[in-house]
Structure 1
Amino acid sequence: MSEHAYKPPRVLIVAGSDSGGGAGIQADIKTVTMLGGHAMTAVTALTAQNTLGVQGVLPVPATFVVQQMRSVLDDLGADAVKIGMIGSAETAHAVADELERLDVPVVFDPVMVATSGSVLADAETIAAFERLMRIASVVTPNLPELEALGGEAAVLAHGCHLVAKGGHAEGYYVVDRVLAPNGEELARLEAKRFDTEDTHGTGCTLASALACGLAAGMSIEQAFEQAVRFVRIAILSAPGFGQGHGPVGHTLGHNPYEQLEG
Protein backbone atom coordinates (compact mmCIF):
# COMPACT_ATOMS: atom_id res chain seq x y z
CA MET A 1 0.00 0.00 0.00
CA SER A 2 1.39 3.38 -1.01
CA GLU A 3 2.13 6.07 1.54
CA HIS A 4 0.19 9.32 1.25
CA ALA A 5 1.37 12.68 2.57
CA TYR A 6 -2.12 13.80 3.59
CA LYS A 7 -4.39 11.70 5.77
CA PRO A 8 -7.91 13.17 5.86
CA PRO A 9 -9.56 13.13 9.29
CA ARG A 10 -11.86 10.10 9.51
CA VAL A 11 -15.41 10.76 10.72
CA LEU A 12 -17.80 7.89 11.45
CA ILE A 13 -21.39 9.11 11.08
CA VAL A 14 -24.14 7.17 12.88
CA ALA A 15 -27.42 8.62 11.62
CA GLY A 16 -30.49 8.20 9.45
CA SER A 17 -30.79 8.66 5.71
CA ASP A 18 -32.72 11.56 4.16
CA SER A 19 -34.02 10.58 0.71
CA GLY A 20 -34.31 14.28 -0.18
CA GLY A 21 -30.59 14.79 0.39
CA GLY A 22 -30.93 17.84 2.62
CA ALA A 23 -30.29 16.38 6.06
CA GLY A 24 -29.19 13.14 7.69
CA ILE A 25 -26.41 10.97 6.32
CA GLN A 26 -26.47 12.82 3.01
CA ALA A 27 -25.85 16.21 4.61
CA ASP A 28 -23.23 14.68 6.89
CA ILE A 29 -21.24 13.15 4.04
CA LYS A 30 -21.32 16.35 2.00
CA THR A 31 -20.23 18.46 4.98
CA VAL A 32 -17.32 16.23 5.98
CA THR A 33 -16.19 15.95 2.36
CA MET A 34 -16.30 19.72 1.79
CA LEU A 35 -14.22 20.23 4.93
CA GLY A 36 -11.55 17.81 3.75
CA GLY A 37 -12.50 14.77 5.82
CA HIS A 38 -13.26 11.16 4.99
CA ALA A 39 -16.88 10.31 5.82
CA MET A 40 -17.90 6.80 6.86
CA THR A 41 -21.42 5.75 7.84
CA ALA A 42 -23.58 3.46 9.93
CA VAL A 43 -27.17 4.03 8.82
CA THR A 44 -29.73 3.83 11.64
CA ALA A 45 -32.91 4.38 9.62
CA LEU A 46 -34.19 4.95 6.11
CA THR A 47 -36.67 7.76 5.58
CA ALA A 48 -39.00 8.70 2.76
CA GLN A 49 -38.51 12.43 3.13
CA ASN A 50 -38.59 15.70 1.20
CA THR A 51 -38.78 19.41 1.95
CA LEU A 52 -42.44 19.08 2.99
CA GLY A 53 -41.93 16.43 5.65
CA VAL A 54 -41.22 12.80 6.47
CA GLN A 55 -43.59 10.41 4.75
CA GLY A 56 -42.15 7.20 6.16
CA VAL A 57 -39.42 5.76 8.42
CA LEU A 58 -37.88 2.28 8.22
CA PRO A 59 -35.59 1.63 11.22
CA VAL A 60 -32.46 -0.45 10.71
CA PRO A 61 -32.12 -3.27 13.27
CA ALA A 62 -29.73 -2.34 16.09
CA THR A 63 -27.59 -5.41 15.42
CA PHE A 64 -26.97 -4.27 11.85
CA VAL A 65 -26.19 -0.71 12.94
CA VAL A 66 -23.51 -2.19 15.21
CA GLN A 67 -22.23 -4.42 12.40
CA GLN A 68 -21.76 -1.35 10.20
CA MET A 69 -19.87 0.44 12.98
CA ARG A 70 -17.59 -2.52 13.63
CA SER A 71 -16.85 -2.97 9.92
CA VAL A 72 -15.64 0.61 9.76
CA LEU A 73 -13.82 0.80 13.07
CA ASP A 74 -12.04 -2.56 12.81
CA ASP A 75 -10.56 -1.70 9.42
CA LEU A 76 -10.47 2.04 8.72
CA GLY A 77 -10.65 3.42 12.26
CA ALA A 78 -12.05 6.84 13.15
CA ASP A 79 -10.77 10.17 14.48
CA ALA A 80 -14.24 11.32 15.57
CA VAL A 81 -17.82 10.06 15.64
CA LYS A 82 -20.98 12.02 14.86
CA ILE A 83 -24.34 10.70 16.06
CA GLY A 84 -27.57 11.98 14.54
CA MET A 85 -31.00 10.35 14.22
CA ILE A 86 -30.75 7.19 16.31
CA GLY A 87 -34.01 5.42 15.45
CA SER A 88 -34.83 3.57 18.68
CA ALA A 89 -33.89 3.15 22.32
CA GLU A 90 -32.42 -0.27 21.53
CA THR A 91 -30.15 1.28 18.91
CA ALA A 92 -29.12 4.06 21.30
CA HIS A 93 -27.92 1.53 23.86
CA ALA A 94 -26.23 -0.64 21.23
CA VAL A 95 -24.38 2.38 19.80
CA ALA A 96 -23.37 3.42 23.32
CA ASP A 97 -21.92 -0.03 23.94
CA GLU A 98 -19.67 0.36 20.90
CA LEU A 99 -18.63 3.93 21.65
CA GLU A 100 -17.60 3.15 25.23
CA ARG A 101 -14.56 1.28 23.91
CA LEU A 102 -13.37 4.22 21.78
CA ASP A 103 -11.17 7.15 22.75
CA VAL A 104 -12.11 9.76 20.14
CA PRO A 105 -14.31 12.88 20.21
CA VAL A 106 -18.03 12.11 19.93
CA VAL A 107 -20.50 14.75 18.73
CA PHE A 108 -24.11 13.92 19.57
CA ASP A 109 -26.89 15.77 17.78
CA PRO A 110 -30.03 14.62 19.64
CA VAL A 111 -32.40 14.64 16.66
CA MET A 112 -36.03 14.61 17.79
CA VAL A 113 -37.95 16.66 15.23
CA ALA A 114 -37.16 17.43 11.58
CA THR A 115 -37.17 21.01 10.29
CA SER A 116 -40.57 20.23 8.73
CA GLY A 117 -41.96 19.36 12.18
CA SER A 118 -42.00 15.58 11.75
CA VAL A 119 -41.24 13.62 14.96
CA LEU A 120 -38.13 11.43 14.64
CA ALA A 121 -37.73 10.12 18.21
CA ASP A 122 -40.27 8.68 20.67
CA ALA A 123 -40.20 9.14 24.46
CA GLU A 124 -38.30 5.88 25.08
CA THR A 125 -35.61 6.85 22.59
CA ILE A 126 -35.25 10.33 24.10
CA ALA A 127 -34.85 8.75 27.54
CA ALA A 128 -32.02 6.59 26.16
CA PHE A 129 -30.25 9.76 24.97
CA GLU A 130 -28.97 10.20 28.51
CA ARG A 131 -26.48 7.39 28.02
CA LEU A 132 -25.22 8.89 24.76
CA MET A 133 -24.82 12.29 26.44
CA ARG A 134 -22.60 10.69 29.09
CA ILE A 135 -20.34 9.35 26.33
CA ALA A 136 -20.41 12.45 24.10
CA SER A 137 -17.69 15.08 24.05
CA VAL A 138 -20.23 17.66 22.93
CA VAL A 139 -24.01 17.71 22.47
CA THR A 140 -25.64 20.00 19.89
CA PRO A 141 -29.41 20.35 20.47
CA ASN A 142 -31.56 23.10 19.04
CA LEU A 143 -33.68 25.05 21.53
CA PRO A 144 -36.76 22.76 21.47
CA GLU A 145 -34.50 19.72 21.84
CA LEU A 146 -32.58 21.37 24.67
CA GLU A 147 -35.84 22.04 26.48
CA ALA A 148 -36.94 18.42 26.00
CA LEU A 149 -33.64 17.28 27.51
CA GLY A 150 -34.24 19.39 30.63
CA GLY A 151 -32.26 22.51 29.81
CA GLU A 152 -28.60 23.49 29.88
CA ALA A 153 -27.86 22.31 33.41
CA ALA A 154 -29.41 18.90 32.79
CA VAL A 155 -27.31 18.32 29.68
CA LEU A 156 -24.06 19.57 31.24
CA ALA A 157 -24.65 17.30 34.25
CA HIS A 158 -23.65 14.39 31.99
CA GLY A 159 -20.09 15.76 31.75
CA CYS A 160 -20.24 16.85 28.10
CA HIS A 161 -19.76 20.19 26.40
CA LEU A 162 -22.88 21.86 25.03
CA VAL A 163 -23.35 23.82 21.83
CA ALA A 164 -26.48 25.87 22.54
CA LYS A 165 -27.83 26.86 19.14
CA GLY A 166 -29.95 29.97 18.74
CA GLY A 167 -31.59 29.36 15.39
CA HIS A 168 -35.02 28.71 16.91
CA ALA A 169 -34.96 31.80 19.13
CA GLU A 170 -36.53 35.14 18.26
CA GLY A 171 -34.65 38.30 17.44
CA TYR A 172 -32.58 40.03 14.78
CA TYR A 173 -29.42 38.17 15.78
CA VAL A 174 -28.72 34.45 16.11
CA VAL A 175 -26.60 33.66 19.16
CA ASP A 176 -24.71 30.34 19.27
CA ARG A 177 -22.68 29.40 22.35
CA VAL A 178 -20.31 26.68 23.56
CA LEU A 179 -20.47 25.77 27.24
CA ALA A 180 -17.96 23.66 29.17
CA PRO A 181 -19.23 20.89 31.48
CA ASN A 182 -18.91 23.29 34.43
CA GLY A 183 -21.17 25.80 32.68
CA GLU A 184 -18.41 28.22 31.65
CA GLU A 185 -19.06 29.90 28.29
CA LEU A 186 -16.06 29.09 26.09
CA ALA A 187 -17.19 30.83 22.92
CA ARG A 188 -20.10 32.87 21.60
CA LEU A 189 -20.95 33.88 18.05
CA GLU A 190 -23.60 36.48 17.21
CA ALA A 191 -24.69 37.13 13.64
CA LYS A 192 -27.59 38.51 11.65
CA ARG A 193 -30.52 36.13 11.25
CA PHE A 194 -31.25 35.18 7.63
CA ASP A 195 -34.85 35.60 6.44
CA THR A 196 -35.27 32.22 4.76
CA GLU A 197 -37.04 28.88 5.12
CA ASP A 198 -34.25 27.02 3.31
CA THR A 199 -32.67 25.67 6.47
CA HIS A 200 -33.31 21.93 6.11
CA GLY A 201 -30.25 20.07 7.38
CA THR A 202 -28.62 22.88 9.34
CA GLY A 203 -28.44 20.86 12.57
CA CYS A 204 -26.91 17.82 10.89
CA THR A 205 -24.50 20.03 8.98
CA LEU A 206 -23.27 21.89 12.06
CA ALA A 207 -22.74 18.70 14.07
CA SER A 208 -20.83 17.04 11.23
CA ALA A 209 -18.70 20.13 10.66
CA LEU A 210 -17.94 20.20 14.38
CA ALA A 211 -16.98 16.51 14.34
CA CYS A 212 -14.73 17.02 11.33
CA GLY A 213 -12.93 19.88 13.04
CA LEU A 214 -12.38 17.85 16.19
CA ALA A 215 -11.21 14.89 14.09
CA ALA A 216 -8.62 17.19 12.53
CA GLY A 217 -7.27 18.12 15.97
CA MET A 218 -8.95 21.49 16.42
CA SER A 219 -9.97 22.73 19.84
CA ILE A 220 -13.70 22.77 20.49
CA GLU A 221 -13.71 26.57 20.14
CA GLN A 222 -11.96 26.40 16.76
CA ALA A 223 -14.20 23.58 15.51
CA PHE A 224 -17.28 25.47 16.68
CA GLU A 225 -16.32 28.65 14.84
CA GLN A 226 -15.58 26.72 11.65
CA ALA A 227 -18.87 24.82 11.90
CA VAL A 228 -21.02 27.92 12.43
CA ARG A 229 -19.29 29.71 9.56
CA PHE A 230 -19.81 26.71 7.25
CA VAL A 231 -23.53 26.53 8.09
CA ARG A 232 -24.10 30.23 7.52
CA ILE A 233 -22.42 30.15 4.10
CA ALA A 234 -24.40 27.01 3.23
CA ILE A 235 -27.67 28.79 4.10
CA LEU A 236 -26.72 31.67 1.82
CA SER A 237 -25.88 29.12 -0.90
CA ALA A 238 -29.22 27.28 -0.70
CA PRO A 239 -30.27 26.16 -4.21
CA GLY A 240 -33.99 26.80 -3.67
CA PHE A 241 -35.17 23.22 -4.21
CA GLY A 242 -38.54 21.90 -3.12
CA GLN A 243 -41.86 23.38 -2.02
CA GLY A 244 -41.18 23.48 1.72
CA HIS A 245 -38.11 23.92 3.91
CA GLY A 246 -35.43 23.65 1.24
CA PRO A 247 -31.95 22.20 1.73
CA VAL A 248 -28.92 24.36 2.38
CA GLY A 249 -26.19 24.52 -0.26
CA HIS A 250 -23.37 22.28 0.88
CA THR A 251 -21.26 23.15 -2.17
CA LEU A 252 -21.22 26.73 -0.81
CA GLY A 253 -22.27 28.21 -4.14
CA HIS A 254 -19.37 26.62 -6.05
CA ASN A 255 -20.16 25.29 -9.53
CA PRO A 256 -17.52 22.71 -10.53
CA TYR A 257 -18.81 22.66 -14.09
CA GLU A 258 -17.44 26.17 -14.61
CA GLN A 259 -13.98 24.60 -14.68
CA LEU A 260 -14.99 22.44 -17.65
CA GLU A 261 -16.32 25.25 -19.81
CA GLY A 262 -14.33 26.30 -22.85
Structure 2
Amino acid sequence: MQIPRVLIVAGSDSGGGAGIQADLKAVSVHGAFGMTAITALTAQNTTGVRGVFPVTPAFVALQIDTCLEDIGADAVKTGMLATAPIVEQVAERLAFHRPPWVVVDPVMLAKSGAELLDTDAVEALRERLLPIATVVTPNLPEAEALTGIEITDPEGMKEAARRLHACGSPYVVVKGGHLAGDPVDILYDGRGFTRFEGERIPSRNTHGTGCNFASAIAANLARGKGVEESVRIAKRYIDRAIRAALPLGRGHGPADPMAWLTPRPV
Protein backbone atom coordinates (compact mmCIF):
# COMPACT_ATOMS: atom_id res chain seq x y z
CA MET A 1 0.00 0.00 0.00
CA GLN A 2 1.33 3.44 -0.96
CA ILE A 3 1.60 5.76 2.02
CA PRO A 4 0.55 9.35 1.16
CA ARG A 5 3.60 11.61 1.60
CA VAL A 6 3.71 15.37 2.13
CA LEU A 7 6.85 17.49 2.25
CA ILE A 8 6.37 20.69 4.26
CA VAL A 9 8.66 23.59 3.39
CA ALA A 10 8.11 26.17 6.10
CA GLY A 11 9.36 27.90 9.23
CA SER A 12 9.48 26.61 12.78
CA ASP A 13 7.19 28.13 15.43
CA SER A 14 8.78 27.72 18.86
CA GLY A 15 5.34 28.20 20.45
CA GLY A 16 4.00 25.17 18.60
CA GLY A 17 0.85 26.80 17.27
CA ALA A 18 1.77 27.39 13.63
CA GLY A 19 4.57 26.60 11.18
CA ILE A 20 5.93 23.11 10.77
CA GLN A 21 4.72 22.14 14.25
CA ALA A 22 1.12 22.72 13.19
CA ASP A 23 1.69 21.41 9.66
CA LEU A 24 2.94 18.03 10.82
CA LYS A 25 -0.05 17.58 13.11
CA ALA A 26 -2.50 18.50 10.35
CA VAL A 27 -0.86 16.18 7.81
CA SER A 28 -0.88 13.31 10.30
CA VAL A 29 -4.52 13.84 11.25
CA HIS A 30 -5.46 13.53 7.58
CA GLY A 31 -3.65 10.26 7.12
CA ALA A 32 -0.42 11.28 5.40
CA PHE A 33 3.26 11.03 6.32
CA GLY A 34 4.90 14.41 6.85
CA MET A 35 8.49 15.48 6.15
CA THR A 36 10.03 18.92 6.61
CA ALA A 37 12.45 21.34 5.03
CA ILE A 38 12.83 24.14 7.58
CA THR A 39 13.24 27.62 6.11
CA ALA A 40 13.57 29.68 9.28
CA LEU A 41 13.60 29.42 13.04
CA THR A 42 11.32 31.78 14.93
CA ALA A 43 11.24 32.68 18.60
CA GLN A 44 7.54 33.28 19.22
CA ASN A 45 4.69 32.62 21.60
CA THR A 46 1.03 33.60 21.74
CA THR A 47 1.88 37.28 22.25
CA GLY A 48 4.15 37.75 19.25
CA VAL A 49 7.34 37.02 17.35
CA ARG A 50 10.57 37.98 19.11
CA GLY A 51 13.04 36.86 16.49
CA VAL A 52 13.46 35.24 13.07
CA PHE A 53 16.57 33.37 11.95
CA PRO A 54 16.40 32.32 8.28
CA VAL A 55 18.17 29.14 7.19
CA THR A 56 20.64 29.49 4.32
CA PRO A 57 19.00 28.89 0.92
CA ALA A 58 21.52 26.16 0.15
CA PHE A 59 20.56 24.21 3.26
CA VAL A 60 16.85 24.60 2.49
CA ALA A 61 17.60 23.12 -0.95
CA LEU A 62 19.58 20.29 0.62
CA GLN A 63 16.67 19.37 2.88
CA ILE A 64 14.26 19.33 -0.09
CA ASP A 65 16.58 17.21 -2.24
CA THR A 66 17.34 14.81 0.60
CA CYS A 67 13.66 14.08 1.21
CA LEU A 68 12.51 13.92 -2.40
CA GLU A 69 15.42 11.85 -3.72
CA ASP A 70 14.70 9.06 -1.24
CA ILE A 71 11.21 9.15 0.26
CA GLY A 72 9.50 11.22 -2.41
CA ALA A 73 6.30 13.23 -2.01
CA ASP A 74 2.78 13.08 -3.38
CA ALA A 75 2.32 16.73 -2.40
CA VAL A 76 4.49 19.61 -1.20
CA LYS A 77 3.16 22.39 0.99
CA THR A 78 5.06 25.65 1.36
CA GLY A 79 4.50 28.14 4.16
CA MET A 80 6.84 30.76 5.60
CA LEU A 81 9.76 31.26 3.20
CA ALA A 82 11.24 34.38 4.81
CA THR A 83 13.55 35.75 2.10
CA ALA A 84 13.71 36.17 -1.67
CA PRO A 85 16.77 33.87 -2.04
CA ILE A 86 14.91 31.11 -0.16
CA VAL A 87 11.83 31.58 -2.35
CA GLU A 88 13.98 31.32 -5.46
CA GLN A 89 15.81 28.23 -4.21
CA VAL A 90 12.56 26.49 -3.26
CA ALA A 91 11.05 27.28 -6.66
CA GLU A 92 14.14 25.94 -8.42
CA ARG A 93 14.20 22.65 -6.52
CA LEU A 94 10.46 22.04 -6.87
CA ALA A 95 10.64 22.79 -10.59
CA PHE A 96 13.41 20.20 -10.82
CA HIS A 97 11.63 17.48 -8.80
CA ARG A 98 8.13 18.23 -10.16
CA PRO A 99 5.97 16.77 -7.36
CA PRO A 100 2.35 16.07 -8.41
CA TRP A 101 0.90 18.79 -6.16
CA VAL A 102 2.44 22.01 -4.81
CA VAL A 103 0.23 23.86 -2.30
CA VAL A 104 1.53 27.37 -1.66
CA ASP A 105 0.41 29.16 1.48
CA PRO A 106 2.00 32.61 0.89
CA VAL A 107 2.69 33.40 4.54
CA MET A 108 3.59 37.06 5.05
CA LEU A 109 2.44 38.07 8.53
CA ALA A 110 2.15 36.31 11.86
CA LYS A 111 -1.13 36.52 13.78
CA SER A 112 0.52 39.22 15.92
CA GLY A 113 1.31 41.29 12.82
CA ALA A 114 5.04 40.50 12.69
CA GLU A 115 6.50 40.28 9.18
CA LEU A 116 7.50 36.76 8.14
CA LEU A 117 8.39 37.52 4.51
CA ASP A 118 10.82 40.19 3.33
CA THR A 119 9.26 42.88 1.13
CA ASP A 120 11.43 41.98 -1.87
CA ALA A 121 10.40 38.34 -1.51
CA VAL A 122 6.78 39.09 -2.47
CA GLU A 123 7.80 39.64 -6.09
CA ALA A 124 9.93 36.50 -6.07
CA LEU A 125 7.01 34.51 -4.70
CA ARG A 126 4.68 35.86 -7.38
CA GLU A 127 7.10 35.44 -10.29
CA ARG A 128 9.01 32.29 -9.31
CA LEU A 129 6.81 30.15 -7.04
CA LEU A 130 3.24 30.79 -8.19
CA PRO A 131 3.98 29.57 -11.75
CA ILE A 132 4.85 26.12 -10.40
CA ALA A 133 2.15 26.01 -7.72
CA THR A 134 -0.92 23.87 -8.32
CA VAL A 135 -2.93 25.38 -5.45
CA VAL A 136 -2.36 28.75 -3.76
CA THR A 137 -4.21 29.69 -0.54
CA PRO A 138 -3.82 33.40 0.31
CA ASN A 139 -5.82 35.25 2.93
CA LEU A 140 -7.03 38.73 2.01
CA PRO A 141 -3.91 40.72 3.01
CA GLU A 142 -1.73 38.22 1.15
CA ALA A 143 -3.97 38.33 -1.91
CA GLU A 144 -3.83 42.13 -1.87
CA ALA A 145 -0.03 42.12 -1.62
CA LEU A 146 0.30 39.65 -4.49
CA THR A 147 -2.20 41.33 -6.82
CA GLY A 148 -1.97 45.01 -5.87
CA ILE A 149 -5.74 45.41 -5.54
CA GLU A 150 -7.88 46.27 -2.53
CA ILE A 151 -10.36 43.57 -1.55
CA THR A 152 -13.50 44.64 0.30
CA ASP A 153 -16.07 42.04 -0.74
CA PRO A 154 -16.47 38.64 -2.42
CA GLU A 155 -16.35 40.25 -5.87
CA GLY A 156 -12.91 41.61 -5.02
CA MET A 157 -11.92 38.11 -3.92
CA LYS A 158 -12.96 36.79 -7.32
CA GLU A 159 -10.88 39.39 -9.12
CA ALA A 160 -7.85 38.57 -6.98
CA ALA A 161 -8.38 34.88 -7.73
CA ARG A 162 -8.42 35.61 -11.47
CA ARG A 163 -5.17 37.56 -11.23
CA LEU A 164 -3.44 34.90 -9.17
CA HIS A 165 -4.62 32.21 -11.58
CA ALA A 166 -3.03 34.26 -14.37
CA CYS A 167 0.29 33.96 -12.51
CA GLY A 168 0.24 30.24 -13.25
CA SER A 169 -1.51 28.37 -10.44
CA PRO A 170 -4.38 26.22 -11.80
CA TYR A 171 -6.32 26.50 -8.53
CA VAL A 172 -6.64 29.52 -6.25
CA VAL A 173 -8.37 29.55 -2.86
CA VAL A 174 -8.87 33.09 -1.54
CA LYS A 175 -9.75 33.00 2.17
CA GLY A 176 -12.22 35.67 3.24
CA GLY A 177 -11.95 35.49 7.01
CA HIS A 178 -10.77 39.12 7.23
CA LEU A 179 -14.08 40.41 5.87
CA ALA A 180 -16.95 41.28 8.22
CA GLY A 181 -19.71 38.74 8.77
CA ASP A 182 -19.57 34.99 8.34
CA PRO A 183 -16.42 33.86 6.51
CA VAL A 184 -16.54 33.04 2.82
CA ASP A 185 -13.74 31.32 0.90
CA ILE A 186 -13.66 31.20 -2.89
CA LEU A 187 -12.04 28.52 -5.08
CA TYR A 188 -11.26 29.42 -8.69
CA ASP A 189 -10.12 26.87 -11.28
CA GLY A 190 -9.93 29.10 -14.35
CA ARG A 191 -13.44 28.15 -15.44
CA GLY A 192 -15.68 29.01 -12.52
CA PHE A 193 -15.93 29.79 -8.83
CA THR A 194 -16.92 27.57 -5.92
CA ARG A 195 -18.04 29.40 -2.78
CA PHE A 196 -17.46 27.88 0.65
CA GLU A 197 -19.47 29.49 3.43
CA GLY A 198 -18.96 29.03 7.15
CA GLU A 199 -19.96 30.35 10.53
CA ARG A 200 -17.81 32.92 12.30
CA ILE A 201 -16.66 31.44 15.59
CA PRO A 202 -15.90 34.06 18.26
CA SER A 203 -12.39 33.20 19.45
CA ARG A 204 -9.03 34.89 19.80
CA ASN A 205 -7.36 31.48 19.70
CA THR A 206 -6.92 31.12 15.93
CA HIS A 207 -3.13 30.94 15.66
CA GLY A 208 -2.05 28.46 13.00
CA THR A 209 -5.33 28.20 11.11
CA GLY A 210 -3.79 29.16 7.77
CA CYS A 211 -1.00 26.61 8.16
CA ASN A 212 -3.43 23.88 9.19
CA PHE A 213 -5.79 24.68 6.31
CA ALA A 214 -3.15 24.45 3.58
CA SER A 215 -1.59 21.33 5.11
CA ALA A 216 -4.98 19.62 5.29
CA ILE A 217 -5.52 20.38 1.60
CA ALA A 218 -2.07 19.02 0.75
CA ALA A 219 -2.62 15.83 2.75
CA ASN A 220 -5.94 15.11 1.08
CA LEU A 221 -4.51 15.78 -2.38
CA ALA A 222 -1.71 13.35 -1.50
CA ARG A 223 -4.39 10.78 -0.66
CA GLY A 224 -5.85 11.14 -4.14
CA LYS A 225 -8.82 13.40 -3.46
CA GLY A 226 -9.76 16.23 -5.80
CA VAL A 227 -9.16 19.89 -5.11
CA GLU A 228 -12.74 20.88 -4.31
CA GLU A 229 -13.20 17.91 -1.97
CA SER A 230 -9.84 18.61 -0.30
CA VAL A 231 -10.80 22.25 0.31
CA ARG A 232 -14.19 21.23 1.68
CA ILE A 233 -12.59 18.75 4.09
CA ALA A 234 -10.03 21.36 5.17
CA LYS A 235 -12.82 23.86 5.87
CA ARG A 236 -14.63 21.41 8.16
CA TYR A 237 -11.35 20.58 9.84
CA ILE A 238 -10.52 24.22 10.60
CA ASP A 239 -14.03 24.85 11.90
CA ARG A 240 -13.59 22.09 14.45
CA ALA A 241 -10.02 23.16 15.27
CA ILE A 242 -11.20 26.68 16.14
CA ARG A 243 -14.14 25.41 18.16
CA ALA A 244 -11.70 23.24 20.15
CA ALA A 245 -9.06 25.99 20.32
CA LEU A 246 -6.52 25.72 23.11
CA PRO A 247 -6.61 28.56 25.68
CA LEU A 248 -2.84 28.74 26.06
CA GLY A 249 -0.77 31.82 26.84
CA ARG A 250 -1.78 35.46 27.15
CA GLY A 251 -2.31 36.26 23.45
CA HIS A 252 -3.63 34.46 20.39
CA GLY A 253 -3.66 30.82 21.41
CA PRO A 254 -3.59 28.04 18.82
CA ALA A 255 -6.49 26.34 17.15
CA ASP A 256 -6.34 22.63 17.96
CA PRO A 257 -5.12 20.70 14.89
CA MET A 258 -5.71 17.42 16.72
CA ALA A 259 -9.38 18.11 17.47
CA TRP A 260 -10.61 15.47 15.00
CA LEU A 261 -8.78 12.80 16.98
CA THR A 262 -9.59 13.87 20.54
CA PRO A 263 -12.80 13.16 22.45
CA ARG A 264 -12.87 16.57 24.19
CA PRO A 265 -16.27 18.27 23.73
CA VAL A 266 -16.17 21.36 21.52
Considering the TM-score relative to the shorter chain, is it more than 0.5?
A: yes
Alpha-carbon shift at residue 191 of structure 1 (Å): 1.5
Which of the residues 41, 45, 48 maps onto 2:43? 48
Which of the residues 182, 187, 192 maps onto 2:199? 192
Which of the residues 15, 19, 22 maps onto 1:20? 15
Query: Aligned in 2, Cα 1:175/1:256: closer, same or farther, shift over 3 Å?
Result: closer
Residue 200 of structure 1 aligns to a residue in which SS?
coil
- Judge conservation of contact 1:13–1:42 (CA < 8 Å) in 2: yes
Larger mean Cα displacement after TM superposition, 27-36 or 187-196: 187-196
Amino acid at match of 1:167: G
- Judge conservation of contact 1:237–1:253 (CA < 8 Å) in 2: no
Alpha-carbon shift at residue 122 of structure 1 (Å): 1.6
- Judge conservation of contact 2:246–2:256 (CA < 8 Å) in 1: yes
Which of the residues 162, 166, 170 maps onto 2:180? 170
Alpha-carbon shift at residue 256 of structure 1 (Å): 7.8
d(CA) in 2 for partners of 1:37, 1:248: 20
Which of the residues 99, 106, 109 maps onto 1:110? 106
d(CA) in 2 for partners of 1:213, 1:94: 26
Amino acid at match of 2:165: L
Residue 7 of structure 2 aligns to a residue in which SS?
strand
Residue of structure 1 equivalent to 2:31: 36
Residue of structure 2 equivalent to 1:250: 257
Report whether the alignment pairs 1:143 with 2:140: yes
Which of the residues 156, 163, 167 maps onto 2:165? 156
Amino acid at match of 1:155: L
Amino acid at match of 1:95: V
Alpha-carbon shift at residue 154 of structure 1 (Å): 2.4
Please list every run of 5 or more consecutive structure 1 residues that lacks an aligned counterpart in the other structure. 1-5, 258-262
- Map Cα deviations across residues 42-96 of structure 1 (whole Å, 9 max, x no partner): 0000000111110000000000000001110011000000000002100111111
Which of the residues 129, 132, 149 maps onto 2:129? 132
- Judge conservation of contact 1:159–1:181 (CA < 8 Å) in 2: no
Residue of structure 2 equivalent to 1:232: 239
Query: Aligned in 2, Cα 1:232/1:256: closer, same or farther, shift over 3 Å?
Result: closer
Question: When the two structures are superposed, what TM-score results if normalisation uses the length of structure 1?
Answer: 0.92
d(CA) in 2 for partners of 1:103, 1:25: 19
Alpha-carbon shift at residue 253 of structure 1 (Å): 6.5
Report whether the alignment pairs 1:70 with 2:81: no
Alpha-carbon shift at residue 118 of structure 1 (Å): 0.7
Amino acid at match of 1:216: R
Residue of structure 2 equivalent to 1:211: 218
Larger mean Cα displacement after TM superposition, 246-255 or 191-200: 246-255
Please list every run of 5 or more consecutive structure 2 residues that lacks an aligned counterpart in the other structure. 148-159
Residue 156 of structure 1 aligns to a residue in which SS?
helix
Residue 149 of structure 1 aligns to a residue in which SS?
helix
d(CA) in 1 for partners of 2:7, 2:168: 22
d(CA) in 2 for partners of 1:153, 1:179: 7
Name the Cα RMSD after superposition: 1.4
Alpha-carbon shift at residue 251 of structure 1 (Å): 1.5
Question: When the two structures are superposed, what TM-score results if normalisation uses the length of structure 2?
Answer: 0.90
d(CA) in 2 for partners of 1:214, 1:71: 22
- Judge conservation of contact 2:76–2:99 (CA < 8 Å) in 1: no
d(CA) in 2 for partners of 1:176, 1:104: 24
- Judge conservation of contact 2:29–2:261 (CA < 8 Å) in 1: no
